[in-house]
Amino acid sequence: MPKHNTPMLDELEKGPWPSFVSDMKRQAEKKPEVWDILGQLERSYEDKITHWKHGGIVGVFGYGGGIVGRYSDLPKQFPGVEHFHTVRVNQPSAKYYSTKNLRQLCDLWEKHGSGMTNMHGSTGDIILLGTRTEHLEPFFWDLTHDMGQDLGGSGSNLRTPADCLGKSRCEWSCYDTQAACYAMTMKYQDEIHRPAFPYKFKFKFSGCANDCVAAIARSDIAVIGTWRDDIRIDQAAVQKYIAGEYPSNGGAHKGRDWGAFDIKKEVLDLCPTGCMWMEGKELKIDNAECTRCMHCINVMPRALRPGLQQGASICVGAKAPILDGAQFATLIVPFMEISEENDFESLTEFIEKVWDWWMEVGKNRERVGETMQRVGLPTFLKVMEIEPIPQHVKEPRSNPYIFWQEEEVPGGWERDVVEFRKRHAA
Amino acid sequence: MATIEHKGKSYEVDEDGFLTRGMEQWDENWVEFVKSVEGIGDLTDEHKKVIDALQEYYKKNGIAPMVRILSKTTGFPLKRIYELFPSGPGKGACKMAGLPKPTGCV
């Protein structure tokens, strides 16, 4: 395939940020079809419209998802991208790799595909960009047989779960996010590979409320680590922060002079519940009033640590705007123990209860967050067999349209107007 | 738009091999053809049951049924549907039944 003129894309080779155009040109020397990707992209820059056709249904036998089919609407001009399917490959938890594994995958993709990738898709998958239909089964055979790896999810199913790097290299992680992510991925392989849901469904696992995998915004079930005892304080280390020996926030703000560290201004006064104070040289925290927002720990990581009774909060229902508007996940279980020893039993029970209900009542293409909105939080809690608690709401309702169950009201709903008229003539 | 020839009959299909004019062009010969490309062994009454269910639902509702409803009406769990149609209810069964190509965030 010949080179195409790409004056607009060439502009994107200037500047300090790694240029995807330069990278693609380098790849095109090995895989000439990449010239056609550049060519078609340049055309889209000119025409200000995409040149991919609508949809595409391809896949491998046995699975209902994992591959996103795509065809060019200019196959004559750009035969290299006539078929340009995307393969989602399930990534390892928190995306740790060996070069051996990546080299093997690259060799495989250069053999069967364009050699172009996206490391990684927003959901977490390794994305292999661009191949033809006839390569899909051979690629899948090699991926599973030679590399022991599998496809990720797509369609109305459980999508590929993802997690923050957790205990592997973070002192704040309140449970093993990688173990949980891996265990849930393996346990629910059927749900990942064969769409059986009303719509897509995502899990994400964050070790603490900093939420480095954005679980609260980008997953239908967000598992966010927390603790329920006291923050551990090293008073000597607090003094070192005050004395300026340790940089605040691990030195995150050293690019600018913010003055000397002021614990009152930067920690005590910023605490959202105001539950911290200094008693002489001692830092005090009223842990009963702490909402575990992570701020003080983030500022003084060498002095403050999460407590020892660790677990996670479970939030449900985040989604992007379509159809009913964007939603963050809402708190359903304030604290759940997340333990590998019992195979994450409480978590799997919770997940399956949500699924049993949503698969039955969820409408076609209705995210679980929308189903919850439709039936209401009280109904959702009831099917989940969870007692409503104040922590379930940010504030109580302000409107008085309150439903009561008939059995809650003395006398029930069956009333006789004749009886009423005996006391109140019309 | 491509054309597929099978046993003397031709069918208009899209890139993914779905009938572009849907059930209008559908016939037993089409079923035989899809069988050969979608990894399906011998055609059984169970295959027929799934296809009938899909077509009936589509004629009545103008959309393909949700997987859950297909399982309910046929009595086949999803696992069985994949045994019958290795590429699944969408790419396998809907294609064979002459339903339009599944769309959306697939």
Contact B101 A57 (CB under 8 A): yes
Q: pLDDT tens digits for A320-341?
A: 999 999 999 999 999 999 999 9
A55 vs B contacts (CB less than 8 Å) = 101-103, 106
Count helices and strands (H / E) in chain A. Answer: 15, 13
Contact B39 A155 (CB under 8 A): no
Contact A53 B88 (CB under 8 A): no
Dihedral pair phi/psi, residue A226, rounded to 5°: -160, 180
Q: pLDDT tens digits for B56-89?
A: 999 999 999 999 999 999 999 999 999 999 999 9
Q: What is the structure's pLDDT at B106?
A: 65
B-contacting residues in A 6-35 (Cβ below 8 Å):
none
What is the pTM assigned to this prediction?
0.95
Q: Are B106 and A55 in contact (CB under 8 A)?
A: yes
Show Cβ contacts of residue A50 under 8 Å, excluding neighbours closer than 6 positions. Answer: A44
Q: Are A204 and A184 in contact (CB under 8 A)?
A: no
Task: Characterize the bridge pairing of strands B2-6 and B9-13.
Answer: antiparallel
Residue A306: pLDDT over 90: yes
Read off the pLDDT band of B104 (50, 70, 90): confident
Q: A55 to chain B: nearest residue by CA?
A: B103
Q: Determine the length of chain A.
A: 426
Tell me whether B102 touches chain A (CB under 8 Å).
yes
Shortest Cα distance, chain A CAs vs residue B8, angstroms: 25
> In whole angstroms, what is the distance from residue A313 CA to residue A338 CA?
10
Tell me whether B67 touches chain A (CB under 8 Å).
yes
HSE-up (13 A, CA, CB side) for residue A149:
23
The residue among B14, B67, B94 with the most chain A CBs within 10 A of its CB, best to mutate, is B67
Task: Tell me which residue in B79, B86, B105 faces A61 most closely, judged by beta carbons.
Answer: B86
Tell me whether A65 touches chain B (CB under 8 Å).
yes
Task: Characterize the bridge pairing of strands A203-206 and A221-227.
Answer: parallel
The interface pTM score, or ipTM, of the predicted complex is 0.90
Q: Catalytic annotation on B94?
A: no
Task: Tell me which residue in A58, A61, A360 faces B16 most closely, judged by beta carbons.
Answer: A58
Percent of chain A at pLDDT exceeding 90: 99
> In whole angstroms, what is the distance from residue B39 CA to residue B58 CA?
24
